Amino acid sequence: MGAGCYVATTTERIDAVPEASWLSRLFDNKAFLIFLCMLPAAGLLIVFLTYPLGLGVWLAFTDTRIGRAGEFTGFDNYYSLFQDRDFWTAVWWTCFYTVFATILKFGLGLWLALLLNNNLPMKSLLRAFILVPWIVPTVLSAIAFWWIYDPQFSIVSYVLVDKLGWLDTYINFLGDPWNARWSLIAANVWRGIPFVAICLLAGLQTISPSLYEAAMIDGAKPMQRFRHITVPMLMPILAVVLTFSVIFTFTDFQLVYAITRGGPVNSTHLMATLAFQRAIPGGQLGEGAAIAVAMIPFLIGATLFSYFALARRKWQQGGADD
Amino acid sequence: MMRFTRRGTLKVGLGAVAGTSLLGSTSLRAEIPVNEATPPSYKVEDGASLRILRPAKFVQGDETVFLANSKKFEEQYGVPVKVDSESWEDLRPKTAVAASIGSGPDVILAWSDDPHQFPGATMDLTDLADYLGKKYGGWWPLAEKYGKDKDGRWIALPIGASGGRVVYRKSWVNEAGFDGIPGDLDGFLNLCRALKKSGHPPGFALGNAVGDGNAWTSWALWSHGGAVSDENDNVIINSKETIEALKYAKELYSTFIPGTLAWLDPSNNKAFLAGEISLTQNGISVYYAAKTSQDEGVRQLAEDIFHARMPIGPLGRPGERALVINTMVLNSTKFPNAAREYVRFMMEREQYDPWLQASIGYWGHPLKAYDASEIWTADPKHEPYKHVMADALWDGYRGSLGESSAAVLADYVVVQMFASVCAGQMTPEEAAKEAERRAKRYYRT
């Protein structure tokens, strides 16, 4: 900017000195500079995001197998997936998993954030501690859950059956489709709560205490303060966190792969695990890519929903809906 | 550089098999009978070096002796050898990529049917296979099946196979009123019912367990005379034999410990060693885990563990499956002679027998002469694993080995057909039909 201004305001002097080289003129060009500065970022995006995504979309139109180039087959993969019961189970279950896990994560996460927002002894330590489930590598917590849900060695069953005597038989956590599904949701919620709680806590801390004071002077009850101050003020950050959380949950892989590997009988395959199962161990790269590509519309939909539904400007400023 | 003698090599291997008394000192002089045969002359290229890709170990001795043998080759031939190990499920994609882009390893110890998926990528090893066959009394049928392509050329040399056998607690089987494992399907079912009644149920994996799930459900299918495909690779899984197999499995499942639908590969080993189940199907690893355990109680359990063949059904012959390690030399290797010489070297008795012994019966041998190996007599409990390669059936049985059979296996088509019936989600007829639909997608041309 500075150089540009200088050139523009001192035309006479420029005329006096010898013509600047093409290189320095090029670097004085604003458009060129913008392009140049964006190049590294754009390059990274193209190489590591656009290219793989494009390749994935392309592979989904071919019958490529691992180690063998495929031929273009049009919508063959999608057509075959359309008739595939396992694929539809995975689609349905992925949506179910995302919706319920997200609702639980947000309900419990918000509750936790509100608790942590109070003045508690050893507040910082407690907040750091809350993050542990989120920090632990997913594969490790998944394996821990695998043991917790083990049909023979589950600690939960052990306590309920052998110690307390409340149940007669061990709980079949992972052997029954619905038990397995809720077990996975529980594991996902356990893992996801800290992220939601800490983000919402950050949001809560930005709300000015004077608003609450004013409301209290007006005689607002705690529930009213929550509904008319906390919720609207939290909405922008809620929208962002929700978007992230939906994306993380929808594309979850490790928990399911480590705990059930999609079983029993494919009833817990998420789209991500099914895509991996078909593409890598199964070798059907094209079909796996098609499943992965089929996730994109859902992700875009979820993102748009949380963006438009929750990030409306008026709400952000604490106003009412139009 | 460390010097490995034959004796030293053995010690390394045996040391890994906790307790060197296991095989006794006579094993050092195990006599493998050989016939006169002239090895093919592979003149090792100047400046050759080799990269080997193999599966990660299941038992420590397997890897220890394999590396020691490779080191020995390195010293005798002056050819540097680098050995990489890949986990079970990663080996397959690595093999595929190496075979198709033609770079990376020179020799791959691939899984079962992988060499058949890349027909153009492997060297013809017929002369080597003929020589080894002649010298060591011939190849077992499963080795020929996995080694040869459709035209009878050897495109890979199977070096060992792991088979599932009945692993059981003798005292509990006796307590249930049986002397041993019945050899027929009805008797076996009765035994399992009796075991359940006495509070020591059996358990077989029905989750997506790549080894154990595929192994026992393939047995259940094949032993009833069913198969995924016929000799011409037509899908024939929706058959009355399959439905019989499914009905049988459902009966058998009713005797299992709860939760087997969630079982992955390690589950039956864990449950067996914890005394939760009395009987399962597995490789020899359960027995060895018990025998070499640090825990005195678990070590005593080894005394009570016995092995038997899976029962024989209407098929009229054993219907067990095997996991084969199948050595392929890639066409793309820069040093074809060094690579083939390496394979020959590893299969010769001076190297192979110590490796077989260090693998503690996990791998069964492909060459008949190794029947004489000490490993099969050192402990009578090894015996049921001796002839895995003599009579096991191949993946995609009745049909050919290749992409389709591999994909059906990788997608758990057979395991899930059984699991859905056992879980009560589908009738046998529905499950067979669904499996047919899925298999046909992989067998379409």
Residues B86-134: tens digit of each pLDDT: 988 788 888 888 888 888 899 999 998 889 988 788 999 999 999 999 9
Residue of A nearest to B419 (CA): A265
* B207 in A contact zone (CB under 8 Å): yes
Would you say A62 and A76 are in contact if contact means Cβ atoms under 8 Å apart? no
Burial class (CB in 10 A: 0-12, 13-18, 19+), B309: middle
* Residue B407 clears pLDDT 50, i.e. is over it: yes
User: Facing residues of A73 across strands?
Assistant: none
Lowest pLDDT segment from A47-51, A303-307, B21-25, B186-190? B21-25
What's the DSSP call for residue B181?
A: -
Tell if the CB–CB gap between A80 and B434 is shorter than 8 Å: no
Question: For a pLDDT cut of 70, what percent of chain B falls above it?
Answer: 93
How many beta-carbon pairs under 8 angstroms link A with B? 109
Phi, psi of B113 (to 5 degrees): -95, 5
pLDDT tens column, B313-329: 999 999 999 999 999 99
Complex-level ipTM? 0.73
Taking only residues 170 to 189 of chain B, the set having a beta carbon closer than 8 angstroms to any beta carbon of chain A reads none
pLDDT tens column, B35-76: 989 999 999 999 999 999 999 988 888 999 999 999 999 999
* A268 in B contact zone (CB under 8 Å): no
Short-list B30, B59, B62, CA closest to B374: B30
Of B377 and A11, more confident: B377
Question: For a pLDDT cut of 70, what percent of chain A falls above it?
Answer: 89
Question: Which pLDDT does position A116 carry in this prediction?
Answer: 87
Phi, psi of B52 (to 5 degrees): -115, 135
Question: For a pLDDT cut of 90, what percent of chain B falls above it?
Answer: 72
User: Average pLDDT for residues A175-195, to the nearest whole number?
Assistant: 92
Give the integer Cα–Cα distance in Å for B105 and B114.
15
Q: Residue B264: which of A80, A261, A265 has the nearest Cβ?
A: A261
User: Average pLDDT for residues B147-161, to the nearest whole number?
Assistant: 93
Work out the pLDDT band at B312, boundaries 50, 70, 90.
Answer: very high
Would you say A264 and B207 are in contact if contact means Cβ atoms under 8 Å apart? yes
Question: Which pLDDT does position B445 carry in this prediction?
Answer: 60
* Residue B141 clears pLDDT 90, i.e. is over it: yes
SS3 state at A279: helix
Q: What's chain A's average pLDDT?
A: 85
Q: What's chain B's average pLDDT?
A: 89
Short-list A174, A140, A141, CA closest to A157: A174
Distance from CA of A282 to the nearest CA of B (A): 5
Question: Which pLDDT does position B25 carry in this prediction?
Answer: 40
Tell if the CB–CB gap between B403 and A176 is shorter than 8 Å: no
Please state the pTM of the whole predicted model: 0.82
* Residue A85 CB neighbour total at 10 angstroms: 11
Residue of B nearest to A85 (CA): B434
Work out the pLDDT band at A261, boundaries 50, 70, 90.
Answer: confident
Question: Which pLDDT does position A18 carry in this prediction?
Answer: 63
Work out the pLDDT band at A172, boundaries 50, 70, 90.
Answer: confident
